[in-house]
Amino acid sequence: MQWLRDIARTSGPFATVYLDASHNTPDAPHLIELSWRSSRAELAGAGADEATLAALDTAVARTVEAVDHPSGAVGQVLVAAGGSVLLDRWLPAPPAQAHAHWADAPHLLPALAQLPERLVTVLAVVDATGADLYTGRRAEHLDTYRYPLHQVRGGGLAHLKMRHRVEENERASAADVARAIDDAVADTGADLLVLAGETQSRSRVRRALGAEADRIAEEVDAGGRAPGTAEDELDREAARLVDDRIHALRRDEVRRYREAGGRAVDGVAPVAEALRAAQVDTLYLDPERVSDRKLWLGPEPEQLATDRDQLTALGIDALGPVEAADALVRAAAGTGATVVPVDGEPLADGTGAILRGG
């Protein structure tokens, strides 16, 4: 995650805030303000500077005013340092309780548990006249209409010719749409293709897809291109497919750890040592079981140790101590390692890693 790497390379200390940002009750704006007021006082008491608190004031004010706000119950994570907000992201669910941290490393594991590595998704809503393609924030509307499009009643040779022309036009339209989808999947490096819309057109497009787009495709019986088509069901189905694919990717990562053999280590101390040597390929953390031990930090992300004297002996001015999970996430991000939250794995201290191949 690029945002995680950017934060890891930024100097602290950091203010990290988790809020219930839901706007689903009449008093929601007031509740958000009260929650932030409490968190702000907590940060100020811990030593947060006024410039950083003011930057957070501005961000929370946008939340209170529901600027670009998602619907339903949501959480929000904010990270700020040096008078600037470094991270402002919505979370799929609000925290059990709002909380704030002021430390030499940002407190990001709770957010990572809800915000895994970005899943690139292409959404294609198709019918006999074309498709609407959505890739991230970009929308493309394809018109592949060919006359005639619909068969007519009747018999004889003229009717037979008309039917063949309609069927050929339908196949040609589906092929055009499939090529556009193939290009979108290749251009974005998509992990998931959600194929929605009219059933017969969807089937024709699916048969015309290239191998890679077909491999990542999932069809849903929802959505359409006609004006007035309800989009709520399509949104729910697409979100479900994204969630399913994310969990499948996490299961694959856990399987990779189990099969890593001698390249796998667990426990805070061995993992910290491997991160200090920039030897970690993938860091695994169980948010429910990660150790409450503290680690010492240096100015650079890979500078961490279980003992302050370890850093001092290397001529590094030690910072901290900070929570082990925060130090490990910072070091992983700063050294290019992937961070994978896991659940229920028998890792010592709730911490494990796969080392880079030699």
pLDDT tens digits, one per residue of 270-319: 999 999 999 999 999 998 888 888 999 999 999 999 999 989 998 998 99
207 and 286 in a common domain: no
Does the structure show a pLDDT above 80 at 159? no
Residues with Cβ within 8 Å of 261's Cβ and at least 6 positions away in sequence, in order, are none
pLDDT of residue 148: 46
220 and 161 in a common domain: yes
Q: Tens digits of per-residue pLDDT, 201-214?
A: 899 999 999 999 99
Query: The domain spanning residue 274 has which CATH number?
Result: 3.30.1330.30
Q: Which of 253, 277, 294 is the endpoint of a domain?
A: 253
Element (H, E) at 333: helix 324-334
Does the structure show a pLDDT above 90 at 138? no
277 and 218 in a common domain: no
Q: Which residue has the higher pLDDT, 147 or 6?
A: 6
333 and 314 in a common domain: yes
Does the structure show a pLDDT above 50 at 151? no
238 and 125 in a common domain: yes
User: How far apart are the C-alpha atoms of 135 and 127, rounded to whole Å?
Assistant: 18
pLDDT of residue 52: 98
Q: Which of 207, 223, 253 is the endpoint of a domain?
A: 253
Q: Is 304 exposed, middle or buried (0-12, 13-18, 19+ CB in 10 A)?
A: buried
303 and 199 in a common domain: no
Q: Which residue has the higher pLDDT, 117 or 177?
A: 177
- What is the domain count for the chain? 3
160 and 133 in a common domain: yes
pLDDT of residue 207: 93
pLDDT of residue 282: 94
| Residue percentage of the chain with pLDDT more than 90 | 49
pLDDT of residue 123: 92
For all residues of the chain together, what is the average pLDDT? 86
pLDDT of residue 120: 85
246 and 150 in a common domain: yes
Tell whether omega for the bond before 13 is within 30 degrees of 0, i.e. cis. Answer: yes
Does the structure show a pLDDT above 80 at 225? no
244 and 150 in a common domain: yes
Q: Which of 96, 114, 132 is the endpoint of a domain?
A: 114
Domain that holds residue 56: 2-114
Task: Evaluate whether 127 touches 225 at the Cβ level (below 8 Å).
Answer: yes
Query: The domain spanning residue 39 has which CATH number?
Result: 3.30.960
**Highest mean pLDDT out of 39-48, 71-80, 244-253:** 39-48
**Highest mean pLDDT out of 13-17, 70-74, 176-180:** 13-17
pLDDT of residue 320: 83
pLDDT of residue 149: 46
Structure pTM? 0.73
Phi and psi torsions of 286, nearest 5°: -95, 110
107 and 161 in a common domain: no
Does the structure show a pLDDT above 50 at 152? no
144 and 99 in a common domain: no
